Amino acid sequence: MSLVIRLARTGKKGERKFRVVVKEKRSKRDGGYIDLLGWYQKGKEGSKKIDMKKYSEWVVKGAKPSATVAEIIK
């Protein structure tokens, strides 16, 4: 089972809000997830909240962040 840390889209049409989640690589973008790490809202400066302790634990366990999530974390 290959795990990835990626974004899952939520919110209304035209309002881009995303959850930062841990899920299996082959699952759908908005399907079920294993763990919720936080949220991110595109377009607004500083509008993110990610639990870095959980993030670090999942990376140690072998979950790989997507390119977008890696850019957000920087």
- Which pLDDT does position 55 carry in this prediction? 95
pLDDT at 13 (0 to 100): 86
List, in order of start, the domains of the chain with CATH numbers.
3-73 (3.30.1320.10)
- DSSP sequence for 1-68: --EEEEEEEESSTT--EEEEEEEETTS-TTS--SEEEEEEETTSTT-EEE-HHHHHHHHHHT-EE-HH
Q: What is the pLDDT of residue 46?
A: 66
- pLDDT at residue number 22: 95
Choice between 51 and 1, residue whose per-residue pLDDT is larger: 51
Question: What are the tens digits of pLDDT across the range 14-72?
Answer: 888 899 999 998 888 777 889 999 999 877 676 889 999 999 999 999 999 999 999 98
